[in-house]
Structure 1
Amino acid sequence: MSASRTATAVLCGVQIVDVMGVTVVVSALPRMLSDLGASPAAAGLLVPGYAVGFAALLVVAARWGDRRGHRWVLLGGLVTFAVASVLAAVAPTTAVLVAARFLQGVAAAVSVPNALALLTREAGPDRGRALSAWNACGGLAGAAGLLVGGLVTDAVGWRAIFWANIAVTVLLAAGVLRTVRRDCAGGRAQESFDTRSACLQVATIALVVAAADAARHSGVLLAVLGALAAGAALLLVVRERRAPSPLVPHELWRRPAFVAGLAGSFGVTATTSTFIVITTVHLQQDLGFATGSAGLMILCFSTGVVVAAAAAGRLLSAVGATAVLVGSLAVIGAGAAAAAAIPEVVGVVVVGLVLAGLGNGAGAVAAYALGTEVPDDQQAGAAGLLNTAAQVGTAVVVAVGVAVAAAVGGGATLDARSGAGVSVGAAIVVIAAVLVGRARRASRSSVPAG
C-alpha cells in the first residue's frame, strides 16, 4: 500500500471512531442507566451530551488547525478522546458519564475537520476516491456502532466500549505520527476568528439543550433556561454582525439553498436520532429484547440508510435536492408514525425503522447537496455548519423526545408512542420550513429586475 493510501486509511479510521462514538452507546443505554441507578429519562442527557460537545467546536476547530497545524491539532483531539474514554470507562455516576461523553464530543469536533483537511492534502490526485472512502466510513461507522454497542455490552459489559476506545485511539495516534506528514500553518494562519462568537456559540447550544432537558423537571426551570438560551442566541447574532471575522460568513445566510440544507440537516438527524433512542429503550424495556438483539433490530435502520444513500444520486438528478429532502422527511415521519400507532407489534416497529433509515440516507445526501451550493472558498464553512446543525438537531430533539416520553411514562419508563410522536412533529415542522424557504426563493427569482 502506498504512503498516501496508508495515511488515508489512518485518517478514515479517525472518522470511524468519532462517528461511531455517537451511536455506539445507543444499544447499551438501558444497561448503562440500570447499572448507574438512573431513570430512563437520563437517556436524554447521555446521547445529546456527545452531540453538544461535537456541535460546539466544529465551526472553529478547522481554524485552529489552520493556525497551529492540522496534524498537531488532530493529535491533541485524539489524546483528549482517549482521556475522556478513561473517564467514561470508570464513571461511578450518570453525571460523570455525561461529562465524559461531552468531552468525547469536544475531542471529536477537534479531530474530524482536521483529519479531513489532512486527508485532502495526503490523497493528492486521488482526492475524489479518498473523500468517497471518508463518507463511506462515516456511514458504516454510524451503522456499526448500533450493533457493536449491543454485542459488546451483552458479552462483557458497556464499560468495555470505552476501554476499547482507548486502545483504538492510541493506535490511530501512532498511525498519524508514522504516516501523516508534518504540516505548518497554512495561508490562513494569521486569520483570526472571533473568540467571543465561539464562546457565545458554545453557550447557546448548551443552554438550548439544557432547556430541552429541563422540560421533564420543571416548567420554571425550562422558562429560565429558555430565556437564557434566547439571550445568548441574540448576543451571538449581534456579535456575528459586528465581528470583523465572523464564524459564519454573512453571504451564506443570504443563500436560500444553504438555509434549506441547514434546516434539512437539522431535521433528518433530529428525527431519526430521537426515534432510534426511544425505540432502543422500548425494545429492551417494553418488548423484552436483550441488548445485542435490540442492536440487531436497529440494524435494519442502518441497512435502509446505506441503500438510500447509494440511490440518492440518481434521485437528485431526477427530481432535485429539495424534493428528495422533503420526501425523505415525510418517509421518516411515516416510519415514526407507524411505530407510534402500534408500538407493541415488532413487525410494525421494524417497518418504521426501515422507513426511517431510507429517509435518513436520502435526506442527508439531499441536505448536503443543498447546503454546499456555495462558492469554493465557503465550502469548508458550509460543511462545518451542516454538521453542526445535525449535531444540534440530535442534542435538542432527543432531549425533548425523552423528556416528553418520560413525562407520559411517569418517569419509570419511556412512553414509546409519545417519544416517536416527537419525531413525527419535528419532521412536519422541518418540512414546512423547507417548503416556505423554497416558496420565498421562487418568489424572489420571479421578480423582474429593475
Structure 2
Amino acid sequence: MDNSRGRLVALCTVQVVDVMGVTVVVSALPRMLGDLGGSAGGAGLLVPVYAVGFSSLLLLSARLGDRFGPRRVLIAGLVLFAIGSMVAAAAPVMALLITGRAIQGAAAAMTVPNALVLLTRAASTEAAHDRALGAWNACGGLAGAAGLLVGGLTTSAVSWRAIFWGNLVIAAVLIAVLLRLVERDRANQQRVALDLRSVVLQVIAVGAVVAAANTAARDWLVTAVLALAGALAVGWLVARERSTGSPLVPVKLWRRPFVAGLIGSFGVTATTSSFVVVGTLYLQEEKGFSPAAAGLMILPFSVSVVLGAGVAGRLMPRLGPRRMLVTGLLLIGVGAAAMGLWSTTTALLAGLAAAGLGNGVGAVAAYGLGTAVPVAQQASAAGLLNTAAQLGTATMVAITVAVAGRGGGLDYLSGWLTVVLTAAAVALPVLAVTAGRTRRFDSPSQVGTG
C-alpha cells in the first residue's frame, strides 16, 4: 500500500471511529445500566452527551487547526479520544462513564474537521478530490448505521467495556500511522486569534437547539424556553461575529457554493437519519423484528451509501455538485415516499436502498461544494459542514419522532412525510443559492489562493 492510499485509509478511519461513536453504545445501554447500577436518566445521557460535545466544538476545533495546524490538532484529538475511551472502559459508576463519553465527543470534534482538511489538501486534482470525498462520506454513512450492529455484537460476545478498549487500541494505531504518513504542518502556519465569547455563544446556541429538539415530544414549555435561549444565543453570536476581528467563521467563507453545501450537509443527514430511525422502529414495532434483526435489515442503507458515494466521486466532475446534491435529496425523498405509499417490508428495503444512494450522492456533493474554498478557509469550512451535519441528525430525528408520535403511538406515515418535506425544503434553497455559476478550486495553485 503506497503512502497516499494508506493516508486515505487512515484519515477515513478517523471518520468511521468518530461517527460510529454516536450510535455504538445504543445497543449496550441496558447492559451498562445493569452493570453500573445507573438510572435510566443517566443511561439516556450517554448518546446526547457525545453528540452535543461533537457538534458544539467542531467550529472551535477547526479554528484551532487553522492556528496550530490540522495535523497537530488531529493527533491531539486522537490522544484525547484515547483518554476518554480509557475513562469509559474502566468506569466503576455511571457518572464516570458519562464523563468518558463527553471527553470522546470533544475529541471527535477535534479530529473530524482536521482529518477532512488533510484529506482534501492531499488531493492534487479535482477528480482525486471528489474520489477522496466519496470515500470519506461512504465511511461516515456506513459508520453511523453500523454502530448499532457493532455495539450489539461486541456487547453480546464480550462486554460493553470492550467497545471502549477497542477504541483505545484503534486510536493508538491511528496516531502511529498518521505520524508516519501525514506530512508535518507548515512552519509558517498562520496565527489565528480566537474570540472566546464567540466560542461560548456558539456552544450555548448548539446545545440549546439540540436540547430543544430532543424535548419537543415531552414538555412544550421547556422546549419553548430552550428554543428561545438558542435563538437569542444565535442572534448574539451573529452580532458578535460581525463585530469581532477574529470571527469563528471567516467572512469570506460565506459564498454561494459554501452556503449551498452547508444547507445540503444539514439536509442529507437530517433526512436519512430520520428515515433510518423511523424505519428501525417500524421493523421492531410493526413487523416484530428483534433489535439485532432490525439492525441487519438496515444493511441495504449502509451498502447503498458506499455505492452512492463511490458513484458520486466519479460522476461529480462531469455533472457538477449542484445536480448531484439535488439528485441525492430527490432519491431520499423518493425512498421515504415509497415507504409512505406501500407500508411493506419490501418497500422499506427499497426505500432504504434509495435513501442510502441519496445519502452517498448528496453528502459527497454537499462536501464538494462546501470544501471548494482556499486553503486558509478549509478548516473552518470543514468544521461548519460537520456542525451542520451533526445538527441535522440531532434535531430532525427528534422532531420527526415528535411529529410521528403525537397520538401516543407512532404514526409512521407522518414520519415518512416529514422526511419527504424536509428533503424538498432543503432542495429548493440549494437550487436557489446555486442558480449562478459556482467556482471550483481544482488544483493546488488554485486552492492555495484567496
**TM-score (ref. length: structure 1):** 0.81
Structure 1 gap segments, 5+ residues each: 443-450
What is the CA–CA distance in structure 2 between the aligned matches of 1:32 and 1:285, rounded to whole Å? Answer: 22
Q: What is the identity, as a one-letter code, of the residue corresponding to 1:388?
A: T
What is the CA–CA distance in structure 1 between the aligned matches of 2:183 and 2:264, rounded to whole Å? Answer: 37
What is the CA–CA distance in structure 2 between the aligned matches of 1:365 and 1:163, rounded to whole Å? Answer: 32
Q: Please say if residues 11 and 119 of structure 1, whose CA atoms lie closer than 8 Å, have aligned partners that are also in contact.
A: yes
- Give the equivalent residue in structure 2 for 1:381: 380
What is the CA–CA distance in structure 2 between the aligned matches of 1:94 and 1:342, rounded to whole Å? Answer: 43
Q: Please say if residues 15 and 137 of structure 1, whose CA atoms lie closer than 8 Å, have aligned partners that are also in contact.
A: yes
Residues 269-297 of structure 1: CA deviation (Å, up to 9, x unaligned): 11101211232233234433333332321
Q: Please say if residues 49 and 101 of structure 2, whose CA atoms lie closer than 8 Å, have aligned partners that are also in contact.
A: yes
> Paired residue for 1:149, among 140, 148, 151?
151
- Determine if the alignment matches structure 1 residue 292 to structure 2 residue 292: yes
- SS in structure 1 opposite 2:298? helix
Give, in angstroms, the shift of residue 125 of structure 1: 7.8
What is the CA–CA distance in structure 2 between the aligned matches of 1:156 and 1:415, rounded to whole Å? Answer: 37
Give, in angstroms, the shift of residue 169 of structure 1: 2.2
What is the CA–CA distance in structure 1 between the aligned matches of 2:411 and 2:166, rounded to whole Å? Answer: 33
- Give the equivalent residue in structure 2 for 1:397: 396
Distance 1:359 1:9, change over 3 A: closer
- Give the equivalent residue in structure 2 for 1:226: 227
Give, in angstroms, the shift of residue 192 of structure 1: 1.0
- SS in structure 2 opposite 1:247? coil
- SS in structure 1 opposite 2:246? coil
What is the CA–CA distance in structure 1 between the aligned matches of 2:361 and 2:305, rounded to whole Å? Answer: 7
Structure 2 gap segments, 5+ residues each: 438-450
- Give the equivalent residue in structure 1 for 2:168: 166
Distance 1:432 1:101, change over 3 A: farther
Question: Which structure 2 residues correspond to residues 156-305 of structure 1 after superposition, within 5 A?
Answer: 156=158, 158-176=160-178, 179=180, 183=184, 186-253=187-254, 255-305=255-305
Give, in angstroms, the shift of residue 304 of structure 1: 1.3
Q: What is the identity, as a one-letter code, of the residue corresponding to 1:233?
A: V
Q: Please say if residues 61 and 110 of structure 2, whose CA atoms lie closer than 8 Å, have aligned partners that are also in contact.
A: yes
Distance 1:32 1:298, change over 3 A: farther
Question: Which structure 2 residues correspond to residues 1-400 of structure 1 after superposition, within 5 A?
Answer: 10-25=10-25, 28=27, 38=40, 47-68=47-68, 70-86=70-86, 88-89=88-89, 100-116=100-116, 132=131, 136=135, 139-140=138-139, 142-144=141-143, 145-146=146-147, 147-156=149-158, 158-176=160-178, 179=180, 183=184, 186-253=187-254, 255-313=255-313, 315-316=315-316, 319-343=319-343, 345-400=344-399
Give, in angstroms, the shift of residue 133 of structure 1: 5.8
Q: What is the identity, as a one-letter code, of the residue corresponding to 2:307?
A: V
What is the CA–CA distance in structure 1 between the aligned matches of 2:136 and 2:339, rounded to whole Å? Answer: 29
Residues 322-376 of structure 1: CA deviation (Å, up to 9, x unaligned): 2332232122122123334444x21111111011101111111222232234344
Deviates more, 1:228-237 or 1:164-173: 164-173
Give, in angstroms, the shift of residue 239 of structure 1: 0.6
**TM-score (ref. length: structure 2):** 0.81
Q: What is the identity, as a one-letter code, of the residue corresponding to 2:266?
A: F
Q: Please say if residues 56 and 201 of structure 1, whose CA atoms lie closer than 8 Å, have aligned partners that are also in contact.
A: yes
Q: What is the identity, as a one-letter code, of the residue corresponding to 2:265?
A: S
Q: Please say if residues 48 and 399 of structure 1, whose CA atoms lie closer than 8 Å, have aligned partners that are also in contact.
A: no
What is the CA–CA distance in structure 2 between the aligned matches of 1:212 and 1:92, rounded to whole Å? Answer: 31
**What root-mean-square deviation, in Å, do the aligned CA atoms of Structure 1 and Structure 2 show?**
3.7
Aligned residues: 430
Q: Please say if residues 58 and 387 of structure 1, whose CA atoms lie closer than 8 Å, have aligned partners that are also in contact.
A: yes
Q: What is the identity, as a one-letter code, of the residue corresponding to 2:196?
A: T
- Give the equivalent residue in structure 2 for 1:435: 431
Distance 1:180 1:315, change over 3 A: closer
Give, in angstroms, the shift of residue 210 of structure 1: 0.8
Matched-pair identity in %? 51
Distance 1:102 1:281, change over 3 A: farther
Give, in angstroms, the shift of residue 208 of structure 1: 0.5
